[in-house]
Amino acid sequence: MRRLINDGSLIVSLNPNSPRTETYRLLRTRIQFSSKDHELNTLMVTSSQAGEGKTTTISNLAVIYAQEGKKVLLIDANMRKPSLHRIFSQLNHQGLSTLLTRQTSNGDAIQETSISHLHLLPSGPVPSNPSELIDSKAMWELLETLEKQYDVILIDTPSILDVSDSVILSAMCDGVIMVAAAGKAKKDHLRKAKDQLSHVNARILGVVLNQVG
């Protein structure tokens, strides 16, 4: 079993009784009750800018789902600045980028983590054309295949105002969780980000106000 990096990112696993862990449990409950009519199996997290806590939020949420016994796949779709492999102490030689360019098979790219029921599809090596790779039939087909194999798929993405990747992905997901850093997120940035998501009819489940630092 690989050791988890103790940098506080995976608070849910390291400190199950902390108040922060409790807020991730609450987030999980809110998601559950946010949609009565639609299944929420494929969810992504995004934010208007970088450094607002997307990766931290989606990683902890993944651990919560896995602890419930759900079969969870966490995907690092931030192919420009990947970080999930580091949080889970995994290699990143193969991953989403090599899958979408058909250099690897799903079985080779998806890794078990030290958390039971939680699998990770890391980003893979940084490609030259991340938006093109995401905006592809291959990405739709990959998600379609994986949705049959997992109870929940959680996707980490780049921030909306930097690149188009997350807006493209939002149309492939059942729901979007927005993260806004308290004291950092600007109202007009948040509005612009929300407008871009609404434009593609993304289902925004809610905004997590994250207390970074």
- Binding residues vs ligand ADP (CB under 6 A): 8-9, 47, 50-56, 210-213
- Measured distance CA(118)–CA(182) in Å, rounded: 29
Q: Are strands 175-181 and 42-46 parallel, antiparallel or unpaired?
A: parallel
Query: Which residue number, 79 or 143, has a Cβ lying nearer to Mg ion?
Result: 79
The reply on whether position 166 binds Mg ion by CB under 5 A is: no
Look at residue 213 and give the partner it binds from ligand ADP, Mg ion, none, a contact being a CB closer than 5 to 8 Å depending on partner kind: ligand ADP
Query: Which residue number, 56 or 90, has a Cβ lying nearer to ligand ADP?
Result: 56
Name the minimum Å distance from CB 156 to Mg ion. Answer: 6
Query: Which residue number, 4 or 151, has a Cβ lying nearer to Mg ion?
Result: 4
Q: CB under 5 A: which stretch of 8-16, 49-57, 130-138, 205-213 binds Mg ion?
A: 49-57
Instruction: Give residue for tokens 């798929």.
Output: 153
Query: Which residue number, 54 or 85, has a Cβ lying nearer to Mg ion?
Result: 54
Look at residue 76 and give the partner it binds from ligand ADP, Mg ion, none, a contact being a CB closer than 5 to 8 Å depending on partner kind: none
Look at residue 56 and give the partner it binds from Mg ion, ligand ADP, none, a contact being a CB closer than 5 to 8 Å depending on partner kind: ligand ADP
Contact 73, 119 (CB under 8 A): yes
How many alpha carbons lie under 13 Å from residue 20 in its C-beta half-sphere? 16
> Shortest CA distance to 60 belongs to which of 177, 139, 167, 185?
177
Neighbours of 77 (CB within 10 A): 27
For the purposes of burial, counting CB atoms within 10 Å of the CB of 199, is it exposed (0-12), middle (13-18) or buried (19 or more)? Answer: exposed
User: Among 9, 13, 48, 55, which residue sits at the site for Mg ion (rule: CB under 5 A)?
Assistant: 55
Neighbours of 176 (CB within 10 A): 26
The reply on whether position 159 binds Mg ion by CB under 5 A is: no
Binding site for Mg ion (CB under 5 A): 54-55
